[in-house]
C-alpha cells in the first residue's frame, strides 16, 4: 500500500533522507528530485543560468552587488544577501544594532559599542571590554581593549576612554606630576597663596614653609633675638659682649665696631693673633682664630684643624654639629653651610620636594619649554609630552590619518568614508551617513 512520508524522507518505511536542494520536492517512493524554476541537476543544486544571469531564457542580468550577495536567484533574479547586508540589490549594510542574514538579529552591545553586522560580535568603544562591552577598563588602564597603561601621578584618576588624568588638589600637567606654581594651591591650582618673605606654599593646602630666619603662620615674623635658622630653632653662638646679635637666616655674628672673628672674639686683623696681633693664623675658608692661642675657629660649614674640610654628608653649620633634616631624598643635597637644600636639576622647593612648574625645566627651573599645542615638557630633560592628537619632538605634528588619541596610539573606527577627530576619535560622517561610527544611512 502507498504511504505518505514526512518531508525530507522517502523509501520503504520512509527510512531514507532526501538530498534535494533549493526547495525542490522529493518523491516519497524513490527520492527523485523535482526542481523548482531555475534549478537543474539530480539534486537541483545547479543553476540553470550562468552566474549573473536569470530568467526563462537566462538573458536577464542580475542587479545584485556581487561582493555583498550570496546568490542571485536563477529564475526570479531576487538577491539573497550575505550576512550584514540588506536591500533589493544588497547595497545597504544592516542598520545600526542589527546583524546577520537578512539583518533580523538584534545586537546586544552596551556602552555605544559597534556591532559587527556579519556575526554580531561587539567591538567595544575605548574604555570598555567584555563580550557585550559592559565592563569598564580595570583601574590603571584605558583605551581600546583596555590595552594602554595610565601614567597619572600623585593619586590622580585616569579616564578609561582616553587616559586623560584628573589631578588631585595641588597638581597639574598631563600626568599630574607638576605642582601648582609658587603663588597658587588647591584643586586646579585655583586658590592664591598668602605666604610672605619668599616662603614656600604647600600646593595641596596652602600652608607656608618658612625659609631660614622667619616664623609664623604666614612666615611674617623674623626669628626672635638670639635665634636663627629654619624654624628659628638654632641658638646664636656669638660673644654677647662683642656682638649685637646674629643674622636670623645664617647665624653669622654681627660684631660691634673693632671686633672681628666668627664669634666676634678678637680685635686682631683677619689672619692674625697674639698679644700684639703679630702672629699669623693658618685657617682657611674665611675662618678666624683664637686671639690668644691661634687655634682655628671654623666658619660655618667647615671643620678640621685648619678648617679645610667641609662638613661630612648630612651635617652643616657651626662646628658641623647641626644635622640635616631627616626627610632626605634623592632630589636634593643639604648645603653644608646653611642647611638649606640644593636641588637637583628639575626640582624646586625648600626641601626640593616639587618638580619644576609647568612650562619650565632644568637647574633651578630656569629653562623654558618649547612645546606646541598645549603640551608640557619633562621637568628634567625638557622633552615634550604631547596632548592627545599630536606627535613629534615639539608636538607640532597632528596624528596620521586613521589614528587618534595619546601618542596617536588608537585606531579610528569610522566607516563608510567617515573621518575621525584626532584628539578623541569622534567620527565626522560624509553626506548620507550618521551615527557614532557612520553606520546609519539617512536614506533607509
Tens of pLDDT, residues 41-93: 999 999 999 989 999 999 999 999 999 999 999 999 999 999 999 999 998 88
Residues 6+ away with beta carbon under 8 Å from 62: 52, 53, 54, 72, 77, 79
CA–CA separation, 107 and 122 (whole Å): 8
CA–CA separation, 249 and 240 (whole Å): 18
Q: CB 318: neighbour CB atoms within 10 A?
A: 24
Cβ atoms of residues 319 and 303 within 8 Å: yes
CA–CA separation, 150 and 164 (whole Å): 8
Residue count of the chain: 444
On average, the pLDDT of the chain sits at 89
Cβ atoms of residues 222 and 229 within 8 Å: no
What is the three-class DSSP state of 318? helix
- Percent of the chain clearing pLDDT 90 (strictly above): 52
CA–CA separation, 106 and 97 (whole Å): 6
Q: CB 444: neighbour CB atoms within 10 A?
A: 10
Cβ atoms of residues 346 and 362 within 8 Å: yes
Cβ atoms of residues 297 and 289 within 8 Å: yes
Measure Cα distances from 218 to 170, 189, 225, 249, 427 in Å.
18, 19, 19, 17, 52
* CATH number listed for the domain at residues 383-444: 2.170.300.10
Phi and psi torsions of 406, nearest 5°: -65, 125
In tens, the pLDDT along 139-193 reads: 999 988 898 999 999 999 999 988 889 999 999 988 998 888 888 999 999 999 9
Cβ atoms of residues 21 and 44 within 8 Å: yes
In tens, the pLDDT along 254-298 reads: 999 889 888 898 888 878 888 778 888 899 998 888 888 889 989
Q: How confident is the model at residue 1 (pLDDT cuts 50, 70, 90)?
A: very low
Of 92, 159, 78, the residue nearest 125 (C-alpha): 159
Fold that domain 9-47 belongs to in CATH? Laminin (2.10.25)
Phi and psi torsions of 302, nearest 5°: -130, 150
Q: What is the mean pLDDT of residues 351-361?
A: 84
Structural domain boundaries of the chain?
Answer: 9-47, 171-211+340-368, 244-337, 383-444
Amino acid at each position: 500500500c502507498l504511504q505518505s512520508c514526512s518531508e525530507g524522507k522517502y523509501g520503504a518505511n520512509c527510512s531514507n533522507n532526501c538530498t534535494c536542494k533549493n526547495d525542490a520536492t522529493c518523491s516519497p517512493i524513490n527520492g527523485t528530485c523535482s526542481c523548482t524554476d531555475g534549478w537543474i541537476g539530480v539534486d537541483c543544486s545547479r543553476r540553470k543560468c550562468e552566474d549573473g544571469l536569470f530568467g526563462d531564457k537566462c538573458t536577464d542580468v542580475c542587479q545584485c552587488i556581487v561582493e555583498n550577495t550570496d546568490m542571485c536567484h536563477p529564475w526570479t533574479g531576487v538577491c539573497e544577501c550575505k550576512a550584514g547586508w540588506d536591500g533589493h540589490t544588497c547595497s545597504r549594510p544592516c542598520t545600526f544594532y542589527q546583524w546577520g542574514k537578512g539583518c533580523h538579529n538584534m545586537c546586544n552591545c552596551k556602552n555605544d559599542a559597534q556591532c559587527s553586522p556579519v556575526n554580531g560580535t561587539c567591538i567595544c568603544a575605548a574604555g570598555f571590554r567584555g563580550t557585550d562591552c559592559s565592563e569598564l577598563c580595570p583601574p590603571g588602564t584605558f583605551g581600546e581593549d583596555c590595552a594602554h597603561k595610565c601614567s597619572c601621578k600623585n593619586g590622580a584618576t585616569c579616564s578609561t576612554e582616553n587616559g586623560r588624568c584628573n589631578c588631585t588638589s595641588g597638581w597639574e600637567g598631563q600626568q599630574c606630576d607638576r605642582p601648582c606654581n609658587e603663588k597658587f594651591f588647591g584643586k586646579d591650582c585655583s586658590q592664591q597663596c598668602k605666604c610672605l618673605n619668599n616662603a614656600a606654599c604647600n600646593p595641596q593646602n596652602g600652608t607656608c614653609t618658612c625659609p631660614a630666619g622667619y616664623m609664623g603662620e604666614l612666615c611674617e615674623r623674623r626669628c626672635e633675638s638670639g635665634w636663627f635658622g629654619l624654624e628659628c630653632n638654632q641658638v646664636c653662638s656669638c660673644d654677647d659682649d662683642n656682638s649685637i646679635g646674629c643674622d636670623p637666616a645664617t647665624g653669622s655674628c654681627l660684631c660691634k665696631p673693632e671686633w672681628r672673628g666668627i664669634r666676634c672674639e678678637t680685635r686682631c686683623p683677619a689672619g692674625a693673633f697674639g698679644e700684639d696681633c703679630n702672629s699669623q693664623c693658618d685657617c682657611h675658608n674665611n675662618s678666624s682664630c683664637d686671639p690668644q692661642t691661634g687655634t682655628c675657629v671654623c666658619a660655618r660649614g667647615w671643620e678640621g684643624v685648619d678648617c679645610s674640610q667641609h662638613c661630612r654628608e648630612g651635617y652643616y653649620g657651626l662646628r658641623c654639629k647641626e644635622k640635616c633634616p631627616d626627610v632626605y631624598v634623592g632630589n636634593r643635597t643639604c648645603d653644608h653651610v646653611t642647611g638649606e637644600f640644593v636641588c637637583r636639576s628639575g626640582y624646586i622647593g625648600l626641601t626640593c620636594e616639587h618638580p619644576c612648574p609647568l612650562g619650565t625645566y632644568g637647574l633651578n627651573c630656569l629653562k623654558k619649554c618649547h612645546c606646541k599645542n598645549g603640551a608640557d615638557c619633562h621637568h628634567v630633560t625638557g622633552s615634550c609630552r604631547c596632548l592627545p592628537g599630536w606627535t613629534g619632538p615639539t608636538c607640532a605634528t597632528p596624528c596620521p590619518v586613521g589614528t587618534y588619541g595619546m601618542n596617536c596610539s588608537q585606531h579610528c573606527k569610522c566607516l563608510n568614508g567617515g573621518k575621525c577627530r584626532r584628539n578623541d576619535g569622534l567620527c565626522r560622517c560624509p553626506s548620507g551617513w550618521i551615527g557614532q561610527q557612520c553606520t546609519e544611512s539617512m536614506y533607509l
